[in-house]
Structures are given as structure tokens and as C-alpha cells.
Amino acid sequence: MLYFGYGSNLCERDWRSWCERKGESGSGLIFKRCAWLPEHELSFTYSSGSRGGGVLDVVERFGQAAPGALFEVDEAARRALDKKEGAPNVYEPLEVIALDDEGNAHAAFTYRVREDLRSAYVNPAPGYADIVAEGCELLGVKKSMLLAAARGKRPAWEVPSVFVYGSLRTGEYNHAWLKRGADVKLKGVGSTPGLLHDCGSWPAMMPGGGEERVTGELWRCEDAASTLKALDQLEGFSGWGVDGSLFYRRLQRARMSCGGEVLSWVYRYAGDRCDGELVSSGDWTSR
């Protein structure tokens, strides 16, 4: 089973120290990859007696993505995690969908503080944020949301960019939908892994099997929530774990023509197969 961790469990040293003190085996918690929990952000909402101050929680916020990591866990590690998190009395287990940066979605579980135990903000326990930051550094998890939450600030959007490749591009018939949210700015042209299909009046991007890439535009959103709300409606995205979506909203890295890569939201066709004609160039405007 997969576990999404975002707090002190990112730090192997802290995890193994707790396991040794409690007589638990820490070997069953195995890091797999960095990931994000969509529609959530990090917040210090609970005062831990054992830590002596505030500890992390994940709270809902549409358009946000809380950074963390996916771990493979065995049954012994799951029991140890439940014990460490005080589940279900303090933290409650939660079935979630976590996203990686290659367009994949993973069924996992995580923990969140019980609603009736939450506060608006609790000062972090001494040394706690440093423990989480240590884990972030070792695993390659971005720390900016952690640092903002530790100061009691509302974090900036973790993924403020949207990569569009079809009817939302400049000059195309759905481009105005990008402007239905708050201010958006074109950052440049780039490409992302995938296969592009021409379904007649609309395009569909699907995962590729190799080096195939799809060309498009990267737009930065002033308010990711308002932009994504509009685009979810247009693309028929019903939410993670909900049946009936026409397109899925996923995370992928866009390789910019001016250099560098940017983590961005992208809408991929939800079907298992697409009957539309393959656009070999990967560029909707050259079809």
C-alpha cells in the first residue's frame, strides 16, 4: 500500500528514532517518489503534547497542491504509523489520490487532524519545522509551503501554471476560458510528454510510450483556484476518484523553449484509448 507523508515522517532519522523508542520496526516505510496532494495545503493546526507545540496538518484548498512524498508501507509500518499519529483519536486516516510530476495519479492514504481538534494556527513545536525541512532536503521535496505555514502565512500557490495545448491556446476558440479566472500571463511556449490526437473539433492528449511530446503554451495564474475552476468546467473534470470525467487534471513538467522545466497543471484525456487521428507533430496548430 502507498502512504502520502508530508510532515515529520519525511525525515528518516526522526521516524527511526520514534520506532526505536516505541519498539517498532521502521524498515517497512520505503520512499518511492515525491508527490503532491491536490486541493490541499500544509497548515499548523494542532498542538502536540509530545512535541510541545504545533505540528503539520493538511487542510482543503481548491487549486492548491501540498508537497510531500509517497512511501510503500507494509502492514507493520501501517500499524506503527497509526500509533505514531494517534489514529483515529488525533489524526484520522484518509484515503486520497496523490499526483506525481509525470501525469500519474496514485491511490494512497494519509492522515489529517480531526476537525474538532483543529485550531486556526499553532506555533510550530521547537525544532519540528527543522525536522520536516531535513526530510524535504533529503527527499527533494520543495520547502516553500512548509516555511510559509510555519510563519502562519497562507502559502502561495504551489503550482500556479497551466499548460494548454489545444483549443485554449492563443487564437483558438476556447482561449477566452483562460481569462474567466483572475489575471493570467503567458510565460512562453514549450512541450510536455504525451501523444496528441485530433478528435475532429477538439484535441485529446494521452500518455506516450517513449519520447513523444506535445507542444503548447504555459500560462501563469494569479489565482489558481479561479482559473482551475473555469477550466475544470470546460474540460469536464469531475474530481479525483470521481467517475465521469472527460479529462483528468494532472501534474506534468513542461520543458520551455527558452530553457528549464516548469511543473504545471495539464488536462489529459480520461479514456483508456482515443480513436482520434494521431497528430504526429504533437502541435495542434499544425494539424
pTM, 2 dp: 0.95
% of the chain with per-residue pLDDT over 70: 100
pLDDT of residue 200: 87
Distance CA 164, CA 32 (A): 29
Condensed to tens digits (0 to 9), the pLDDT of residues 34-60 reads 999 999 999 999 999 999 999 999 999
Q: What is the mean pLDDT of residues 7-18?
A: 97
**Position of cell 502562519?**
152
Specify the DSSP element, H or E, that contains 81.
Answer: helix 75-84
Q: Is pLDDT above 80 for 1?
A: yes
The per-residue pLDDT for 180 is 84
pLDDT band for position 272 (cuts 50, 70, 90): confident
Q: What is the pLDDT of residues 78-107, one digit of tens each?
A: 999 999 999 999 999 999 999 999 999 999
Q: Domains, the chain, ranges and CATH?
A: 2-150 (3.10.490.10), 161-286 (3.10.490.10)
- In this model, does residue 243 exceed pLDDT 90? no
List, in sequence order, every residue forming a beta bridge with 195; answer none if it has no partner.
Answer: 206
Taking residues 201-227, what's their average pLDDT? 93
Mean pLDDT of the chain: 95
pLDDT at residue 276 greater than cutoff 90? no
What is the pLDDT, as a whole number, of residue 201?
85
**How far is residue 24's CA from residue 90's CA, in Å, rounded to a whole number?**
20
Q: pLDDT at residue 252 above 80?
A: yes
Phi, psi of 20 (to 5 degrees): -65, -40
The dihedral over CA atoms of 85, 89, 91, 95, expressed in degrees to the nearest 10, equals 110
Residue 273 C-alpha cell reads as 484509448
Q: How far apart are CA 49 and CA 109, in angstroms?
A: 24
Residue 68, Cβ density class (10 Å: 0-12 exposed, 13-18 middle, ≥19 buried): buried
Of all residues in the chain, the percent with pLDDT exceeding 90 is: 90
How are the residues of the chain apportioned to helix, strand and coil, as percentages rounded to the nearest 5? 25, 40, 35
130-162 tens-digit pLDDT: 999 999 999 999 999 999 999 999 999 999 999
Q: Which residues contact 21 (CB under 8 A, 6 or more apart)?
A: none
Q: What pLDDT shows up at residue 159?
A: 98
**CA angle centred on 174, ends 240 and 105, rounded to 5°:** 20
What per-residue confidence (pLDDT) applies to 182?
Answer: 74
Confidence of residue 66 (pLDDT cuts 50, 70, 90): very high
Angle, helix 128-139 to helix 12-22, in steps of 10 degrees: 120
